[in-house]
Structure 1
């Protein structure tokens, strides 16, 4: 975590029931521990956890040999808008940690869209290196893995103004559309529904609030939503890490 913003050892939680119409196969009537997390850290009031801590905590909550599912519009292990670049490895480190130490599978779904950040692909392939490290030594006893896919909504490259200086552009859809805008993570025991793109700036220079819960019905429902996207024809596996075929 960023210096001067220590993680809370016992962040505030509350008990609350939920009603989720449309999901009749599991009830949400019972109360379970839930929480709010905030960005930037100045909004914590010494009681709540940072949004970064909540994301990391959700990833690390996975059980041994469990599955973590993460969906995001943007992924960038650094700052994007600051004059001086800030390297940001919190989520990447948490993912590698559960793969190596808990033998977990982490599925990461990242949107590819008209405003895709140019070096996202390099950071994601760097994350795939975890798979190589996992099997690099007989002392690792590693059975986990990272799987990464891009989610491509058809027509995403045909978004924007219909006219440019009086000339037709060929765009068929409004700008900043045709993209999976979801930002959430779900382990086998905990769900985290966020508002921040997964880049440093959104956790430390913009305001947002996220919600998380241990409610098993919410966890199950979010897993179903993720799996529907992950197994759809719009989810495309990321290319392999060059030179390391075993890390694909």
Structure 2
């Protein structure tokens, strides 16, 4: 900032020579002056002192000029410090977190098995407690049975859609939706209805224009800027009754909600027709929370470090950890085990015109198993749309087991049973989970594990770790619970060891290899 000081003649009647004296004696005091500060001749009121009465007006005026210039800056700094204090306080709030599941009809566990709130109940609760706003990022919307396939089990999705309509129409809840651009293969009739009725603001992201490919694969809710849901469930009635899903809900946590809102705002602002991805995102989109500096929260009474990761890299403003980098970091910092439950696992880019090798996660898992003797378990889904290449890559990973002492990589395939009636429902009866749990971290994401989802497709991840102070003293319940879900599924009759399956067993899995899943 350039500051212009008026001429001294206009400020005072002090002669020029006095001003020169003031300048030479105040600004350039000699070594002799500084050596004897208490000598009478150096008194500040003496003839050689720097506080002659004639200099006082100039001093006052200069002080006033400095104050005029600096006070606004000091006030701005004070406001900024106060903002940081408020942000810090909001992060100190005691938040509640719970795992959330959709268990498909007909898939049962023993009574003593871990059980958590359903996605349907959780979404309904979020709608019911909303007071001002609901903001949702989703791949597509098909909550009504007529959207996909008429079936009695569509009632839960239809109920969610009805409750969202009523929340907007009757309680004036502001509903904002960011979604992938609808297409013939992936329409969103529900959001069309919401817009026609004037009950929601909807923006659609055109990834072909923005990035040349990919989709908005994210699935999360932000309610009143303080409650959050994030997980694998699409805004689809099948995700409530016919597909196995896993997510997390966090209540009364404005710090987390507002950080997730920054990701939503990236989607929202890229959802206009003229939008382009900026070479550098403005500061308002940036975050201070990431894998290096997580937010420290109290979750269910226990201190924890947590942050949100995002993909693809061009959608990550300053400070935001990339989703792929986050997964690799969690694997590399595991000490005892890495358990992964995903619909797809393949070290390839599979949605590009020509498949490309993408070994990032494969390398991380091999390094963990071979270098650190970490026990690796992968529970991948088996359904009509499983790719043969996935099985072959998983076999190659499993072959590494036993190559050296204490090297252990195990693979199982999880298959959701289906009746003849349920088999008629398209793209259903599958384990759609996308999470990882290690001995020191819980990760819940929205992406399948192939390279495309971390290069040009939008997704988010929630990471929760014990705080440094609590790591040895107190366990982290949410991590323990996620591990219990994995072990429940791993040891269930629905999971089969890949090594135990015959060639005929594997061949029978691939009933439909012609359909393009289009990032289901």
Offset, 1:171? 6.0
Residues 42-93 of structure 1: CA deviation (Å, up to 9, x unaligned): 1221311111111111212211xx1211000011110111013221111111
What are the residue-to-residue correspondences of 1:58-97 with 2, within 5 Å? 58-63=330-335, 66-97=336-367
| Matched length | 204
When residues 239 and 41 of structure 1 are mapped into structure 2, their CA distance, relative to the original with a 3 A threshold, is same
1:36 alignment partner, SS class: strand
What are the residue-to-residue correspondences of 1:25-104 with 2, within 5 Å? 28-63=300-335, 66-104=336-374
What are the residue-to-residue correspondences of 1:76-225 with 2, within 5 Å? 76-132=346-402, 134-135=403-404, 142-155=405-418, 172-215=423-466, 216-225=476-485
Q: TM-score, normalised by structure 2?
A: 0.37
Q: Would you say the 8 A contact 2:413–2:498 is kept in 1?
A: yes
Q: Distance in 2 between matches of 1:241 and 1:124?
A: 13
Offset, 1:16? 2.0
Q: Distance in 1 between matches of 2:481 and 2:495?
A: 19
Q: Distance in 2 between matches of 1:97 and 1:44?
A: 27
Q: Return 29-38 or 102-111, whichever deviates more.
A: 29-38
Q: Would you say the 8 A contact 1:17–1:29 is kept in 2?
A: yes
| Greater helix proportion | 2
**RCO higher in structure (CA 8 A, sep ≥6):** 1
Q: Does 1:13 align with 2:297?
A: no
Higher Rg of the two aligned structures: 2
* Unmatched 5+ stretches in structure 1: 1-8, 19-27, 136-141, 159-169, 243-248
When residues 173 and 16 of structure 1 are mapped into structure 2, their CA distance, relative to the original with a 3 A threshold, is farther
Q: Distance in 1 between matches of 2:376 and 2:356?
A: 25
Q: Return 83-92 or 227-236, whichever deviates more.
A: 83-92
Q: Distance in 2 between matches of 1:180 and 1:240?
A: 20
Q: Would you say the 8 A contact 1:74–1:199 is kept in 2?
A: yes
Q: TM-score, normalised by structure 1?
A: 0.76
Q: Distance in 2 between matches of 1:205 and 1:43?
A: 9
Q: Distance in 1 between matches of 2:321 and 2:399?
A: 30
Please provide the CA RMSD for this pair.
Answer: 2.1
1:31 alignment partner, SS class: strand
Offset, 1:12? 4.1
Q: Distance in 1 between matches of 2:368 and 2:501?
A: 20
2:480 alignment partner, SS class: helix
Q: Distance in 1 between matches of 2:388 and 2:296?
A: 42
Q: Distance in 1 between matches of 2:424 and 2:501?
A: 33
Q: Would you say the 8 A contact 1:12–1:49 is kept in 2?
A: no
When residues 100 and 87 of structure 1 are mapped into structure 2, their CA distance, relative to the original with a 3 A threshold, is same
Q: Distance in 2 between matches of 1:172 and 1:98?
A: 39
Q: Distance in 2 between matches of 1:45 and 1:190?
A: 24
**Counterpart position of 2:14:** none
**Runs of 4 or more off by more than 2 Å in structure 1?**
9-12, 170-173, 239-242
Offset, 1:37? 0.7
